[in-house]
A and B are shown apart, each in its own frame.
Chain A
Amino acid sequence: QQQVKQSPQSLIVQKGGISIINCAYENTAFDYFPWYQQFPGKGPALLIAIRPDVSEKKEGRFTISFNKSAKQFSLHIMDSQPGDSATYFCAASIRVTGGGNKLTFGTGTQLKVEL
């Protein structure tokens, strides 16, 4: 119930192409869905996030599509660039007893954008 399934594990895209990463969840109590970008040797950086009452959110070249009924969400990177090569984690957040939130992460997708 607490799992977030992420696919694909790795992805190679040509420069200028669209990168698509998919995630699925089971627990309907999740109330916030962020995506993180992580470069080697660095901590994850919040890229974009969506709440379940919204079906799509766009920030620059990054778009989250959210399907509440299917319990699925995806990240689309338009006009992919070599600088986008990184590991991407989807996550789902839930309030926890005692305060704060707990993030359940997907397993990560290694994206490589080739020239």
Chain B
Amino acid sequence: DAMVIQNPRYQVTQFGKPVTLSCSQTLNHNVMYWYQQKSSQAPKLLFHYYDKDFNNEADTPDNFQSRRPNTSFCFLDIRSPGLGDAAMYLCATSRDKGIDTFGSGTRLTVV
């Protein structure tokens, strides 16, 4: 089935230790998004790629970076995770309007 796959499902990292979350899609959608969702809150957009063009949200901290080496893969790098970065990180894709498909997310714990 065509889908958005996020790995790992759960990630535990140490305070200040760089961590990378990955996302792959088989939908061939040209737009990929990264969202951060904290408990009982709505997802918050961090950035998105339109093809290879990177679009950062104005309030996304510099601590968060992203790479999209090809259409299928996208990575979220957190350079120095703090306790406040513990959250669910959601990858999503779209082809036209809105967002069609979210991944199941990676739950990040910072210890």
Residues of A within 8 A of B (CB): 31-32, 34, 36, 41-46, 49, 51, 89, 91, 93, 96-103, 105-108
Contact = CB atoms under 8 A, between A and B. Distances in A.
Interface residues of B, number: 29
B99 A108 contact: no
Interface stretch (B12-20, B43-51, B63-71, B72-80): B43-51
Interface of B: 4, 6, 30-31, 33, 40-43, 45, 48-51, 53, 55, 90, 92, 94, 97-105, 107
Contacts, number: 73
Given A32-B98, A103-B99, A108 B42 contact: yes
A107 B100 contact: no
B94 to A, nearest CB: 6
Nearest to B50: A99
A46 B53 CA distance: 25
A103 B102 contact: no
Contacts of B48: 100, 102
A30 to B, nearest CB: 10
Given A99-B53, A100-B31, A46 B99 contact: yes
B100 A46 contact: yes
A2 to B, nearest CB: 11
A100 B42 contact: no
